[in-house]
């Protein structure tokens, strides 16, 4: 660590703006005299080889700081922090400062100071103009300091041929051929098909996150047509509840929350608009490339109407919801780090933020790439939710027409002036220790706060977006050791080197977010499509083709079926076809002119349809001890993976079977008015807002997890959750048996069965069909009746009426059903 930084520090001359390209170096290289050549070969080259080449040469295992000392061009160019020497001026050369050991943060070599004569030799070498006969360029191991540029995930996506299989009757589509080819090679026959009840329960939970109704099950069982299951799939994909299910998966990845994460965890009042945008986008099957572009640069995209403009602005809430870390503005660099971390993992499956303090140790991501992205996001203005010290929102974007915006402008300008003055006063008093002036500034600050509070109370109401807009475009400087108060060389804004390394033009008047969005979604980018189809696959089979969905780098897993992954990725990005309604994928079929009708490119629903209509997906969940030993993780998919329902699915299913689910779209949370906010690290914002809507609409905080979601392994709102853990704890069983919510839903369920009438046997049949999707067996029926009778008899001694005793007994029995494995697991 110290070695890497100290020579990194020796390069920080880049901050001076001095840069000599390799071509310029060759053109201006001074002639080396025989005496100088002898001095270099006898005194300098051996010193560099002995003390520097292990970390700073083309043969270094890891090229520290992207800095080569084995060529003159490399020495002049430097690495992450720029040139290490100024020829002729040793006192201005950071290399000399490093070997002198005068600065605790700038000491080279790290294992011990050079001998005085060696230091003097280096000083003399620099003083005589850096005579150096070595040739070669300054590149950092051809742009691949870690030797991983040839890693599988960085290679172009090429659609492979569908493999041939011996059992030609089993595959329904190309997915099956890829799976079966591996199974046949392992002499493991695929599982038999799942029965129709299992299949409709599986696909209904997978696509909309709710249990199928008895009517839907009966209709599917009675439908003997060859495309019966296809009709079920199309119905589910067209359902408005599809977006609530798959939007939640996306919100896991982008670490969505309704609060900021600072030490007071301030509410973000309009973040819900981004949440609903995500749900709408999945329902509409918005092309995935467009979906990403809107989230990164929706405000920079053209719009044909106010409604479209508002939608695109709201989409940039993806950036605005980046986590805040404290009450001071000086730590906003941590918010930008959170943004870069999420951008890399969510969209590219790369841990880009590992390059904040030094070049990535395992993947071809130099430190300069981190700051290329940092500059783009630093040039962006993020909506501000307020903090303990400055408790007012700022930067929210009005969702109003241009005419209305003009009328609001004077008011917004007054607020901006107050904000600027408050920040000025706070900054000034923060620089003082104690005394009269500091106290006066604190009076002054509170007075300005009161003025702003009064203005907010009286201002007209209008919709706003918690969003991102253009800031002041500027490149970032490398932060030495990741510390913003230790700037190194300036880095042009741009994309990752391994993905093309395109740069924002030097004369650009914008942040570069739109360019970044285009680079990200370029069909030639090998990561974006692979990462997304892997996420979709994972949520259907319980495990991705790549088992580390957020890490496609060298520390992640290799794909179990690389050809299938690329086939799906190529199909995802594939050529645009013609479709009447892109929100409802249709079966591929020949058109009247003989051309194939296909869904739009980047269609998420198209990939869903391919997967769930495959024979692989329709397979049964079976046990096989031999295969479990040979393939314990079921990577070859010799059986279908049983899975526990997610936290949201369990809660939503309990609401649904009880008849209490409100399927309508959720809106804002009832946060307290802004002018009442006094949240701090000692008294942070804490709240729960009950709702009978789907669980995706629950208010979620950052400093504490919503209690129910925490019990059942809900997503971490502070980090990418590409794959949720699944735990089994006593608290889960206790919740289902004792929690007020569980009791309420069981009582609702009992009341529903009572309203629908019938004999006890008929009610039990109805209950089993609602909870499990099947009728009860004779034994289950008899056990239930016996339980109900015993419990009602035990309640005779209470003051309850007969009707109350019956409802109490039924609610108790229904809690048993709702806490059973058959209810919370799907096969």
Over residues 312-325, the pLDDT tens digits come to 999 999 999 999 98
The pLDDT, as a whole number, for residue 329 is 59
The pLDDT, as a whole number, for residue 580 is 35
> What's the rounded Cα separation, in Å, for the pair 67 and 139?
8
> What's the rounded Cα separation, in Å, for the pair 183 and 198?
23
The pLDDT, as a whole number, for residue 81 is 66
Q: How many CB atoms lie within 10 A of CB 432?
A: 13
Q: How many helical (H) and strand (E) elements, i.e. helices and strands, does the chain have?
A: 33, 10
What pairs with residue 384 in β-bridges? 394
Output 534 or 457, whichever has higher pLDDT.
534
Structure token digits, residue 99: 């070997």
Q: What number is the average pLDDT over the span 35-50?
A: 81
pLDDT digits (tens, 9 = 90+) for 673-706: 988 999 999 999 999 999 999 999 999 999 999 9
Question: How far is C-alpha 649 from the chain's CA centre?
Answer: 21
* Prior bond of 456 cis (ω within 30°): no
Nearest in space to 54 (alpha carbons), one of 119, 111, 96? 111
Residues near 546 by Cβ (< 8 Å), separated by ≥ 6?
A: 349, 530, 534, 552, 556, 557, 558, 559, 560, 565
The pLDDT, as a whole number, for residue 139 is 60
Percent of residues, the chain, with pLDDT higher than 70: 90
What radius of gyration, in Å, describes the C-alpha atoms of the chain?
32
> What's the rounded Cα separation, in Å, for the pair 43 and 41?
6
Question: Mean pLDDT of all residues in the chain?
Answer: 89
The pLDDT, as a whole number, for residue 30 is 60
Confidence of residue 24 (pLDDT cuts 50, 70, 90): very low
Question: How far is C-alpha 452 from the chain's CA centre?
Answer: 36
The pLDDT, as a whole number, for residue 430 is 78
With 70 as the cut, is the pLDDT of residue 302 above it?
A: yes
With 90 as the cut, is the pLDDT of residue 570 above it?
A: yes
Q: What number is the average pLDDT over the span 150-174?
A: 96
Q: What is residue 92's DSSP assignment?
A: G
| Cβ burial, residue 608 (10 Å; 0-12/13-18/19+) | buried
The pLDDT, as a whole number, for residue 23 is 34
The pLDDT, as a whole number, for residue 550 is 97
The pLDDT, as a whole number, for residue 97 is 86
Confidence of residue 6 (pLDDT cuts 50, 70, 90): very low
pLDDT digits (tens, 9 = 90+) for 726-757: 999 999 999 998 999 999 999 999 999 999 99
> What's the rounded Cα separation, in Å, for the pair 274 and 282?
13
Give the dihedral sign, CA 665/670/675/677. Answer: negative
CB 261 within 8 A of CB 719: no
Give the dihedral sign, CA 242/248/250/256. Answer: positive
Q: How many residues does the chain have?
A: 827
Residues near 373 by Cβ (< 8 Å), separated by ≥ 6?
A: 340, 343, 352, 493, 495, 496, 516
CB 84 within 8 A of CB 96: no
> What's the rounded Cα separation, in Å, for the pair 194 and 215?
20
Q: What number is the average pLDDT over the span 785-794?
A: 95
With 80 as the cut, is the pLDDT of residue 2 above it?
A: no
The pLDDT, as a whole number, for residue 355 is 94
Nearest in space to 694 (alpha carbons), one of 735, 721, 654? 654
For β-strands 643-644 and 825-826, DSSP reports them as antiparallel
> What's the rounded Cα separation, in Å, for the pair 243 and 561?
28
- What do you get for the CA distance between the two ends of the chain, in Å? 49
Strands (E), 95-194: none
How would DSSP label each residue in 579-629? -S-TTS----EE-TTSPEE-PPTT-HHHHHHHHHTSTTTTB-----HHHHH
Side-chain-side CA neighbours of residue 387 (13 Å): 18
> What's the rounded Cα separation, in Å, for the pair 745 and 814?
9
> What's the rounded Cα separation, in Å, for the pair 459 and 421?
20
The pLDDT, as a whole number, for residue 552 is 97
Q: What share of the chain is helix, strand, coil (3-state, %, to 5)?
A: 50, 5, 45
Residue in the block written with tokens 């919510």: 741
pLDDT digits (tens, 9 = 90+) for 74-100: 888 877 667 788 888 888 888 888 888
Q: What is residue 503's DSSP assignment?
A: B
Residue in the block written with tokens 């920080």: 12
HEC profile for 716-736? CCCCCCCCCCCCCCHHHHHHH
CB 466 within 8 A of CB 396: yes
Nearest in space to 548 (alpha carbons), one of 714, 363, 702? 363
Q: What number is the average pLDDT over the span 421-440?
A: 85
397 membership: H or E segment, kind and range: strand 397-398
Confidence of residue 3 (pLDDT cuts 50, 70, 90): very low
Give the dihedral sign, CA 741/746/747/752. Answer: positive
Q: What is residue 150's DSSP assignment?
A: T
What pairs with residue 589 in β-bridges? 597
How is the chain split into domains, by residue range? 2-143, 174-237+524-643, 245-397+469-520, 410-460, 735-826
Confidence of residue 598 (pLDDT cuts 50, 70, 90): low
pLDDT digits (tens, 9 = 90+) for 323-382: 998 766 557 899 999 999 999 999 999 999 999 988 888 899 999 999 999 999 999 999
The pLDDT, as a whole number, for residue 144 is 60
275 membership: H or E segment, kind and range: helix 272-283
Question: In the chain, what's the furthest Cα-to-Cα distance?
Answer: 112
pLDDT digits (tens, 9 = 90+) for 581-597: 334 344 443 333 444 44
Confidence of residue 25 (pLDDT cuts 50, 70, 90): very low
Nearest in space to 335 (alpha carbons), one of 256, 262, 436? 262
What pairs with residue 106 in β-bridges? 103
How would DSSP label each residue in 622-672? ---HHHHHHSTT-TT-SSPPPEEPPHHHHHHHHHHHHT--B-SPP----PP
């Amino acid at each position: 660590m110290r070695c890497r930084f100290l020579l990194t520090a020796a390069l920080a001359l880049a901050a001076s703006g001095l840069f000599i390209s390799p071509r310029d170096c060759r053109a201006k290289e001074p002639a080396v005299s025989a005496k100088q050549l002898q001095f270099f070969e006898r005194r300098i080259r051996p010193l560099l080889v002995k003390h520097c080449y292990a970390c700073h040469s083309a043969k270094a295992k890891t090229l520290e700081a992207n800095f080569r000392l084995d060529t003159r061009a490399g020495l002049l160019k430097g690495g992450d922090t720029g040139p290490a020497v100024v020829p002729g001026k040793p006192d201005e050369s950071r290399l000399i400062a490093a070997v002198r050991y005068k600065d605790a943060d700038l000491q080279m070599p790290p294992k011990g100071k050079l001998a005085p004569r060696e230091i003097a030799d280096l000083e003399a070498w620099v003083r005589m103009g850096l005579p150096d006969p070595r040739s070669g360029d300054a590149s950092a191991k051809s742009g691949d300091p870690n030797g991983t540029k040839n890693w599988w995930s960085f290679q172009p996506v090429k659609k492979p041929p569908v493999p041939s299989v011996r059992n030609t009757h089993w595959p329904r589509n190309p997915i099956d051929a890829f799976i079966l080819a591996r199974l046949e090679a392992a002499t493991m026959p695929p599982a038999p098909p799942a029965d129709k009840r299992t299949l409709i329960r599986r696909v209904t939970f997978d696509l909309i996150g709710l249990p199928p109704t008895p009517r839907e099950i009966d209709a599917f069982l009675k439908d003997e047509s060859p495309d019966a299951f296809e009709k079920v799939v199309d119905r589910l994909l067209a359902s408005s509840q599809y977006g609530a299910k798959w939007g939640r998966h996306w919100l896991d990845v982008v670490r969505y929350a309704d609060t900021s994460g600072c030490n007071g965890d301030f509410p973000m009042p309009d973040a819900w608009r981004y949440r609903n945008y995500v749900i709408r986008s999945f329902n509409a099957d918005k092309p995935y490339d467009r979906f990403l572009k809107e989230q990164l640069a929706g405000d920079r995209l053209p719009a044909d109407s106010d409604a479209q403009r508002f939608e695109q602005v709201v989409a940039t809430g993806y950036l605005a919801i980046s986590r805040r870390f404290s009450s001071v503005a000086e730590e906003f660099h941590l918010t930008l780090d959170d943004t870069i971390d999420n951008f890399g993992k969510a969209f590219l499956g790369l841990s880009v933020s590992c390059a904040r303090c030094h070049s990535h140790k395992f993947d071809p991501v130099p430190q300069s790439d981190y700051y290329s992205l940092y500059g783009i996001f630093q040039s962006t203005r993020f909506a501000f939710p307020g903090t303990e010290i400055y408790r007012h929102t700022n930067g929210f974007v009005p969702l109003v027409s241009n005419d209305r915006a003009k009328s609001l402008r004077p008011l917004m300008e007054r607020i901006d002036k107050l904000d600027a003055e408050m920040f000025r006063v706070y900054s000034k008093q923060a620089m003082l220790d104690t005394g009269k002036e500091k106290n006066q500034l604190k009076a002054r600050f509170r007075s300005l706060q009161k003025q702003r509070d009064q203005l907010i109370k009286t201002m007209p109401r209008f919709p706003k977006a918690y969003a991102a807009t253009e800031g002041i475009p500027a490149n970032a400087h490398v932060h030495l050791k990741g510390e913003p108060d230790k700037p190194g060389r300036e880095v042009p804004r741009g994309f990752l080197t391994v993905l093309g390394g395109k740069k924002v033009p030097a004369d650009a008047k914008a942040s570069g977010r739109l360019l970044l969005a285009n680079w990200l979604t370029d069909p030639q980018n090998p990561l974006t499509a692979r990462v997304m189809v892997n996420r979709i696959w994972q949520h259907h089979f319980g495990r991705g083709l790549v088992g580390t969905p957020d890490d496609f780098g060298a520390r992640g897993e290799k794909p179990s079926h690389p050809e299938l992954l690329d086939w799906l990725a190529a199909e995802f990005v594939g050529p645009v076809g013609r479709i009447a309604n892109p929100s409802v994928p249709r079966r591929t079929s020949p058109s009247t002119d003989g051309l194939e009708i296909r869904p739009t490119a980047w269609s998420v629903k198209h990939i869903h349809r391919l997967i769930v209509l495959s024979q692989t997906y329709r397979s049964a969940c079976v046990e096989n001890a031999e295969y479990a030993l040979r393939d314990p993780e079921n990577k070859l998919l010799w059986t279908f993976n049983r899975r526990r329902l997610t936290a949201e699915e369990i809660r939503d299913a309990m609401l649904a079977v009880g008849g209490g689910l409100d399927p309508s779209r959720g809106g804002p949370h009832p946060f307290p008015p802004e002018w009442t906010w006094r949240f701090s690290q000692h008294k942070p914002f804490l709240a729960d807002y009950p709702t009978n809507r789907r669980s995706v609409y629950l208010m979620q905080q950052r400093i504490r997890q919503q209690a129910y979601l925490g019990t059942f392994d809900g997503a971490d709102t502070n980090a990418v959750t590409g794959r949720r853990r699944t735990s089994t704890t006593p608290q889960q069983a206790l919740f289902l048996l004792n929690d007020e919510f569980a009791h309420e839903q069981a009582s609702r369920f009992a009341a529903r069965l009572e309203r629908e009438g019938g004999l006890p046997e008929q009610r039990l049949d109805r209950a089993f069909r609602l909870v499990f999707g099947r009728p009860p067996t004779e034994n289950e029926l008899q056990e239930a009746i016996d339980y109900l009778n015993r419990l009602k008899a035990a309640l005779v001694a209470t003051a309850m009426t007969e009707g109350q005793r019956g409802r109490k007994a039924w609610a108790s029995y229904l809690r048993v059903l709702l806490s059973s494995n058959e209810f919370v697991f799907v096969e």
